Chains A and B, each alone.
Chain A
Amino acid sequence: MADLAINLAGIRSPNPFWVASGPPSNTAYQAHRAFEAGWGGLVWKTIGDPIVNVSSRYGAWHAGGARLQGFTNIELISDRAVDTNFRELTEVKRRWPDRAVIASLMVDTRARWHEFVRRAADAGADGIELNFGCPHGMCERGMGSAVGQEPAVAERIVGWVMEAATIPVIVKLTPNITDITVAARAARAGGADAISLINTISSIVHVDLDALGPLPAVAGAGTPGGYSGPAVRPVALKMVQSCAADPAVGLPISGMGGVAQWRDAAEFLALGATSVQVCTAIMHHGFRIITDLLEGLNDYLDAHGLASVGELTGRALPAVRKWEHLDLRERRVARIDYARCIGCNLCHIACEDGAHQSIDLVPPGDRGPGPGRPPGKPIPQVREADCVGCNLCSLVCPVADCITMTTRPADGPPLTWAGYQADLAAGRIEPLPPHS
């Protein structure tokens, strides 16, 4: 059993999985259910001066039969009374002393920030998360992503918070910005203890083609919402990596964005996250998904000989490089296993129309029927000399392990673009011929 406990800037939790600030962390009732299920921490739904919500709030993009692959919401911060939120937070923390309970906050003036920061600490919170990311509604009032998108403003507000803070402060960043590290550096400059990212991405998930208006619709109109769910995960992973790899940021990271399964979480950890937050997947399936997250991560750590989850954090960062440091001489080619090929020929048309015209359709010859290909039906054949190793065929192939990308002997010793440019400048190498 690997040690799953973490310590993020002084916030301890028995495992790295936190319920993210959002609808699942709205009440003490939900927090109790989450902790009973096994979640290591919970970031309370953002507490601020009470707001009023609209009735239609969520929309989704379903990828075929897989529902909620993208999810959008136009719900605002907590619409419950401030007193109620802090009172319930106290109850929850008292009952679950070993779990991390973090108060997400969003107010406007320096005085209000001081007041809310103190109240969070008084309520027993283990830490504070500053919501600088909400991309809908609150930003129109000068809060949320309106703050996160202005590094100077963010830095100043973090400074106000730190004036009053007695517990660790996490700044939650918005992805709705060109370079996330600028916002992360501002958080650092303001004195924050950690960052969390990503908040949701500003989005319009669908247009109702009959009503000709966006979804979700409120009395015939809509507003851009915050996008989350598996569809945003690659964006979130890259932003986490950018912050983790930036020495000028240098803060522990709570990563989130589309985590639904243990592999997703492990990927965030490997790219530098210390804890991982989950919201949309809980909204889809409930708190019970924690059992898979815990078991899968633990088994992975055991299988790879990692004694603690902390050993995974940042472990993939060294392999993320600039393009110019990739080896230009690595040669990969597609290989088709005709014992598995079902004859859909999707690889052919993908390569033919979408890539590099390196998969022919040829008579089947003596390659047999595979798992039941019609006799005589043409089958795909890779022209290895022309295959650029792009992976497209292996990505579109619907059969597991039918098309594998194999490494061919390199044309020479490793050569990066940077090295190539240096060698060219020094006259040590002839220019590589352009592709035909």
Chain B
Amino acid sequence: MPTSPKLDAATLAANLAETCPPLGPQAARREAERCLYCFDAPCIRACPTAIDIPAFIRKIADDNPTGAARTILSANILGASCARVCPTAELCEGACVVRGEPAGPVPIGRLQRFATDAVAAASPRALLPPSAPPTGRRVAVVGGGPAGLGCAAELARLGHSVVVYEKRPRAGGLNTHGVAYYKMRPEVSLAEVALVASLGVQFRYGEELGRTITLPHLELEYAAVFLGLGLSGGRRLGIPGENLPGVVDALEFLEQIRLRPPAEVPVGHVVAVIGGGNTAIDAARHAHRLGARRVICVCRRGPRELAAYPDEVAHARAEGVEFVFHARPAACEPDASGHVAALRLDPHAPPAAVNDEGYVLEVDMVIRAIGQPPAGLAGNQWLPGLEFTPRGDIARDPLTGATNRPGVFAGGDCANGGREVVHAVAEGRRAARAIHTRLTGEIPPELIQASGRGTLSADGPASKTPPHAPLTGGHHG
């Protein structure tokens, strides 16, 4: 039975420090001043929650971080966690018009963190305008992850009474349980749960659909139901030896650091991470930080086809994570004690480009990170009549989240198959607004504090300004 590598406390603390530390006030203002305050800004379009990014950045430049936080949280109640976990290079910062400058794009994510941090000590609730008067309608939200929180917060602000059913003892979903520790501390996510609760949302913990509650029961008790169930645990490899001690799921591995002191998190000396997605990269970097001497990412595809974001892969490589491409795991093999001791690769898997060690990697830990399958809800007797997509996601109208069952809505990973936190928040919020319309017959008031430059559409804001059509066909100055 191998023992985990032991790092001294100082090294461990340094390894687990946030990789992207907060900006100080002066740096934040200097970066904010680089924002051009674009009209019809492409960053807003690139943000699934359509935060009015130029407006909040201008407020930082104007020494008004409180106002900046108000703008952010009005559009995205999880603005603090999204500031840390959003793949900003792929979203807002990837659309920033100054990204071609030597200094790169405006660091929107870090500025968003600066603004939300600025109000974290006080009650962010006080920033938001009072909720609408109670409508007397009750809505159940199943799942307390980003989609459920996004939905619950918007419903509460619109005056509805909301109960969130969460199967775990704590809400926040992957933000609380599964995000790499060096990207975000779980306290940030829990503070967001508290913010949603401060809007009047009730949380019932230990409640799981199909175990303690059923959809028909919820439909009876509530005027509408939102399903934000997320995905199931990690997909299994389906190879011999998968159940050996030392073979773990990536999300369970990432959660360990929240369950015990970092020094006590089990990690191998030589770790194979199977998978090429962002979770695999998170797990690999995490294992490295916890003291693993070697971490090898075993990827089915080649370096150009990895599912992980290029930035993440580059960081992992820079930190010393190794990669084996075009490889297919064949078996996990035990040592005499029965603990995993090697990962055998399939020599027949073309093109079988393999490392110097041949087809057997001597490892004492294998982390499985080949994606999360749908929650396995299709055909579940507690969700009678609900339609699913062929791959097992809950079928819903992407604009509204409406499922085939009237009054039942869905969003987040359980409906989109697994996307970013910010997509889940956006889908939850959109569903909330559709639920409001269903319950009241009214288009909900726009709660986003926008600079009057447009409205939301399905996947972000629509064209904010129609091409100018002269009223008189000519100059009218």
**Bound-state Cα–Cα, A436 to B474, Å:** 9
In contact, B475 and A377 (Cβ under 8 angstroms): no
The answer to whether A362 has its CB under 8 Å from any CB of chain B is yes
In contact, A345 and B467 (Cβ under 8 angstroms): no
The answer to whether A305 has its CB under 8 Å from any CB of chain B is no
Q: Shortest 5 CB-CB distances between A and B: which pairs?
A: A349-B39, A386-B475, A360-B468, A342-B97, A344-B38
Give min CB distance, B100 to chain A, whole Å: 5
Within 8 A of B (CB), among A338-354: 342-346, 348-349, 352
The answer to whether A7 has its CB under 8 Å from any CB of chain B is no
Give min CB distance, B102 to chain A, whole Å: 13
The answer to whether A367 has its CB under 8 Å from any CB of chain B is no
In contact, A356 and B477 (Cβ under 8 angstroms): yes
The CB with the most chain A CB atoms within 10 A, among B29, B100, B465, B475, is that of B475
The answer to whether B438 has its CB under 8 Å from any CB of chain A is no
Give min CB distance, B212 to chain A, whole Å: 46
**Bound-state Cα–Cα, A398 to B477, Å:** 25
Closest to B43 in A: A374
Closest to B100 in A: A371
Closest to A387 in B: B475
Closest to A377 in B: B42
Q: Please give, as numbers and ranges, the residues of chain B lying within 8 Å of A346 by CB-CB distance.
A: 36-39
Give min CB distance, B449 to chain A, whole Å: 19
In contact, A357 and B38 (Cβ under 8 angstroms): no
Q: Please give, as numbers and ranges, the residues of chain B lying within 8 Å of A345 by CB-CB distance.
A: 38-40
In contact, A342 and B474 (Cβ under 8 angstroms): no
Give min CB distance, B356 to chain A, whole Å: 40
The answer to whether A51 has its CB under 8 Å from any CB of chain B is no
Q: Please give, as numbers and ranges, the residues of chain A lying within 8 Å of B42 by CB-CB distance.
A: 343, 373-374, 377
The answer to whether B463 has its CB under 8 Å from any CB of chain A is yes
Give min CB distance, B59 to chain A, whole Å: 14
**Bound-state Cα–Cα, A378 to B454, Å:** 14
In contact, B468 and A357 (Cβ under 8 angstroms): yes
**Bound-state Cα–Cα, A333 to B165, Å:** 63
The answer to whether B61 has its CB under 8 Å from any CB of chain A is yes
Q: What per-residue 1/0 map shows which CB atoms of A356-374 lie under 8 Å from chain B?
A: 1111111100000001111
Q: What per-residue 1/0 map shows which CB atoms of B2-34 lie under 8 Å from chain A?
A: 000000000000000000000000000110010
The answer to whether A321 has its CB under 8 Å from any CB of chain B is no
**With A360-B467, A372-B99, A372-B100 given, is the CB distance from A377 to B39 under 8 Å?**
no
The answer to whether B476 has its CB under 8 Å from any CB of chain A is yes
Q: Please give, as numbers and ranges, the residues of chain B lying within 8 Å of A355 by CB-CB distance.
A: 477
Q: Please give, as numbers and ranges, the residues of chain B lying within 8 Å of A371 by CB-CB distance.
A: 100
In contact, A362 and B467 (Cβ under 8 angstroms): yes
The answer to whether A409 has its CB under 8 Å from any CB of chain B is no
In contact, B467 and A361 (Cβ under 8 angstroms): yes
Give min CB distance, A371 to chain B, whole Å: 5
**With A342-B100, A435-B477 given, is the CB distance from A374 to B45 under 8 Å?**
yes
The answer to whether B95 has its CB under 8 Å from any CB of chain A is yes
In contact, A386 and B98 (Cβ under 8 angstroms): no
The answer to whether A64 has its CB under 8 Å from any CB of chain B is yes
Closest to B46 in A: A374
**Bound-state Cα–Cα, A435 to B477, Å:** 9
Sample of 9 further A-B pairs with CB below 8 A, known A342-B100, A386-B475: A64-B33, A343-B42, A344-B41, A348-B465, A356-B477, A357-B476, A373-B97, A374-B46, A435-B477
Closest to B476 in A: A357
**Bound-state Cα–Cα, A356 to B474, Å:** 11
Q: Please give, as numbers and ranges, the residues of chain B lying within 8 Å of A373 by CB-CB distance.
A: 42, 97
The answer to whether A65 has its CB under 8 Å from any CB of chain B is yes
The CB with the most chain B CB atoms within 10 A, among A363, A383, A398, is that of A398
Give min CB distance, A377 to chain B, whole Å: 6
Within 8 A of A (CB), among B459-477: 463, 465-468, 470, 474-477
Q: Please give, as numbers and ranges, the residues of chain B lying within 8 Å of A436 by CB-CB distance.
A: 474-476
Give min CB distance, A320 to chain B, whole Å: 28
Give min CB distance, A359 to chain B, whole Å: 8
6 sampled A-B residue pairs with Cβ under 8 A: A64-B33, A343-B38, A345-B38, A357-B475, A372-B99, A398-B36
**Bound-state Cα–Cα, A354 to B475, Å:** 14
Give min CB distance, A276 to chain B, whole Å: 30
Q: Please give, as numbers and ranges, the residues of chain A lying within 8 Å of B465 by CB-CB distance.
A: 348, 361, 378
Closest to B471 in A: A357
**Bound-state Cα–Cα, A435 to B475, Å:** 9
Give min CB distance, A109 to chain B, whole Å: 50
**With A65-B30, A356-B475, A435-B477 given, is the CB distance from A344 to B467 under 8 Å?**
no
Q: Please give, as numbers and ranges, the residues of chain A lying within 8 Å of B36 by CB-CB distance.
A: 344, 346, 398
Q: Please give, as numbers and ranges, the residues of chain A lying within 8 Å of B98 by CB-CB distance.
A: 342, 398
Give min CB distance, A355 to chain B, whole Å: 8
**Bound-state Cα–Cα, A377 to B41, Å:** 10
Q: What per-residue 1/0 map shows which CB atoms of A373-401 lie under 8 Å from chain B?
A: 11001100001011010000000001000
In contact, A64 and B61 (Cβ under 8 angstroms): yes
**With A357-B476, A371-B100, A372-B100 given, is the CB distance from A377 to B45 under 8 Å?**
yes
Give min CB distance, B267 to chain A, whole Å: 41
**With A342-B100, A344-B38, A344-B97 given, is the CB distance from A65 to B476 under 8 Å?**
no
**Bound-state Cα–Cα, A361 to B40, Å:** 10
Q: Please give, as numbers and ranges, the residues of chain A lying within 8 Å of B475 by CB-CB distance.
A: 356-358, 383, 385-386, 435-436
**Bound-state Cα–Cα, A360 to B465, Å:** 10
Q: Please give, as numbers and ranges, the residues of chain A lying within 8 Å of B29 by CB-CB distance.
A: 65
Closest to A344 in B: B38
Give min CB distance, A42 to chain B, whole Å: 35
Give min CB distance, B464 to chain A, whole Å: 9
In contact, B477 and A377 (Cβ under 8 angstroms): no
Could you say which of B46, B467, B477 contacts A378, with CB atoms under 8 Å apart? Answer: B467
Give min CB distance, B39 to chain A, whole Å: 4
**With A361-B468, A363-B467 given, is the CB distance from A378 to B61 under 8 Å?**
no
**Bound-state Cα–Cα, A304 to B475, Å:** 42
Could you say which of A343, A348, A349 contacts B97, with CB atoms under 8 Å apart? Answer: A343
**Bound-state Cα–Cα, A363 to B467, Å:** 8
In contact, B40 and A377 (Cβ under 8 angstroms): yes
Q: What per-residue 1/0 map shows which CB atoms of B335-363 lie under 8 Å from chain A?
A: 00000000000000000000000000000
In contact, B467 and A348 (Cβ under 8 angstroms): no
Q: Please give, as numbers and ranges, the residues of chain A lying within 8 Å of B467 by CB-CB distance.
A: 360-363, 378
**Bound-state Cα–Cα, A429 to B37, Å:** 47
Within 8 A of B (CB), among A306-361: 342-346, 348-349, 352, 355-361
Closest to A436 in B: B475
**Bound-state Cα–Cα, A64 to B97, Å:** 20
Within 8 A of B (CB), among A65-109: 65
Q: Please give, as numbers and ranges, the residues of chain B lying within 8 Å of A362 by CB-CB distance.
A: 467
Q: Please give, as numbers and ranges, the residues of chain A lying within 8 Å of B41 by CB-CB distance.
A: 344
Q: Please give, as numbers and ranges, the residues of chain B lying within 8 Å of A385 by CB-CB distance.
A: 475
In contact, B38 and A374 (Cβ under 8 angstroms): no
In contact, B476 and A344 (Cβ under 8 angstroms): no
Closest to A363 in B: B467
In contact, B39 and A344 (Cβ under 8 angstroms): yes
**Bound-state Cα–Cα, A272 to B45, Å:** 52
**With A361-B465, A436-B474 given, is the CB distance from A378 to B45 under 8 Å?**
no
Q: Please give, as numbers and ranges, the residues of chain B lying within 8 Å of A361 by CB-CB distance.
A: 40, 465-468
**Bound-state Cα–Cα, A383 to B473, Å:** 11
Closest to A352 in B: B468
Q: Please give, as numbers and ranges, the residues of chain B lying within 8 Å of A398 by CB-CB distance.
A: 36, 98
Within 8 A of B (CB), among A161-190: none
Give min CB distance, B357 to chain A, whole Å: 42
**Bound-state Cα–Cα, A377 to B468, Å:** 14
Q: Please give, as numbers and ranges, the residues of chain B lying within 8 Å of A360 by CB-CB distance.
A: 467-468
**Bound-state Cα–Cα, A201 to B33, Å:** 28
Q: Please give, as numbers and ranges, the residues of chain A lying within 8 Å of B470 by CB-CB distance.
A: 357
